[in-house]
């Protein structure tokens, strides 16, 4: 499979099927050839680590995930999302698609920016977490989903959607999906269990079942898939599980790059 990625950068990790760069995504993306990527999955900072509280194992714990997740205020956050989404647009093929995952803290800004930059929104998917943590304050509804936006770069191009594979495929983890029925826009997938965290933890790790479904639905063999906020490398691991895809990951944090390397080697 043809390799594709920033040509002048030294990778943190490289194999026949994946390359990982420890870098700021804006910097790394600027070295990637334009119109070269088939699909992007982006799970940007949520901007919610501002000293709130959540529930973990029945206890109140700070919601903070790390400095990378702090909000700089509405205007700074919007400018950040605008910059990385435009950088992603440059490297996507015209028929290429982008997935963006988030909660209300960021997803509406990202949706607005996608539309402002002439992306064509194909779906907004509700990822329902059947095992979401309870709400201890009991003053509002218990957060139990994230939204995934799926958009095509060029309004007139033909994107990949493997309709039949979604209709006929087996999704045993999803209690809302019956066999041989159309895949709907609400997906029930539990958050990652211990087995997926065996190599180490990332505070916002996505389940492999979510990423393998996205890759199967929206790419074909030979696709080049990029994740500008690699985290623990779930997108890269899922590419390996689906097979016949090439992965490019970008991650600022050295510890998360090391965790990704372990997961990819495994
Ligand atoms: C929400 S997490 C992604 C989690 C990932 N989807 C997973 O399953 O592990 C966002 C990640 O982006 C990284 N990050 C934040 N700002 C970045 C930037 N400007 N460039 C590259 N990575 C960045 C953070 O260190 C964090 O690991």
Q: Which of 46, 231, 235, 238 to mutate to test the pocket of ligand 1 (most atoms within 8 A of CB)?
A: 231
Query: What sign for the dihedral angle of Cα 217, 227, 98, 158?
Result: negative
CB 217 within 8 A of CB 166: yes
Q: Which of 67, 86, 198, 251 to mutate to test the pocket of ligand 1 (most atoms within 8 A of CB)?
A: 251
The pLDDT value recorded for residue 118 is: 97
pLDDT at 60: 73
Whether the CB-CB separation of 84 and 44 falls below 8 Å is answered with yes
Regarding pTM above 0.75, the answer is yes
Using CB atoms within 10 Å of the CB of residue 200, give its burial: 0 to 12 exposed, 13 to 18 middle, 19+ buried: middle
CA-nearest residue, atom 26 of ligand 1: 231
For 138-146, the CB contacts below 8 A with 24+ separation are: 143/103, 146/101, 146/102, 146/103, 146/107
Q: What is the pLDDT along the chain (266 residues), one digit of tens a residue?
A: 344 555 557 999 999 999 999 999 999 999 999 999 999 999 999 987 766 666 666 667 776 778 888 888 999 999 999 999 999 999 999 999 999 999 999 999 999 999 999 999 999 999 999 999 898 889 999 999 999 999 999 999 999 999 999 999 999 999 999 989 999 999 999 999 999 999 999 999 999 999 999 999 999 999 999 999 999 999 999 999 999 999 999 999 999 999 999 999 98
């Amino acid at each position: 499979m043809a390799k594709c990625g920033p040509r002048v950068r030294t990778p943190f990790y490289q194999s026949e099927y994946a390359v990982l760069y420890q870098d700021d995504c804006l910097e790394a993306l600027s070295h990637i050839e334009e119109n070269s990527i088939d699909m992007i999955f982006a799970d940007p900072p949520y901007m919610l680590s501002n000293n709130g509280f959540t529930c973990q194992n029945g206890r109140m714990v700070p919601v903070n995930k790390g400095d990378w997740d702090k909000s700089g205020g509405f205007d700074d956050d919007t400018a950040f999302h605008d910059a990385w989404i435009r950088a992603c647009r440059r490297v996507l093929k015209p028929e290429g698609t982008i997935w963006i995952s988030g909660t209300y803290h960021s997803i509406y800004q990202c949706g607005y920016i996608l539309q402002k930059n002439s992306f064509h929104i194909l779906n907004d998917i509700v990822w329902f977490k059947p095992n979401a943590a309870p709400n201890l304050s009991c003053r509002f509804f218990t957060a139990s989903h994230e939204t995934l936006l799926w958009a095509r770069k060029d309004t007139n191009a033909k994107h990949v959607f493997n309709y039949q594979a979604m209709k006929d495929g087996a999704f045993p983890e999803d209690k809302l999906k019956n066999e041989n029925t159309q895949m709907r826009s609400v997906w029930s997938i539990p958050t990652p269990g211990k087995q997926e965290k065996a190599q180490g933890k990332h505070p916002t790790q996505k389940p492999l079942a979510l990423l393998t479904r996205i890759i199967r639905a929206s790419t074909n063999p030979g696709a080049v898939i990029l994740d500008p906020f690699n985290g623990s490398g779930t997108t890269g691991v899922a590419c390996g599980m689906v097979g016949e895809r090439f992965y490019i990951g970008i991650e600022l944090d050295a510890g998360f790059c090391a965790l990704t390397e372990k997961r990819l080697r495994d």
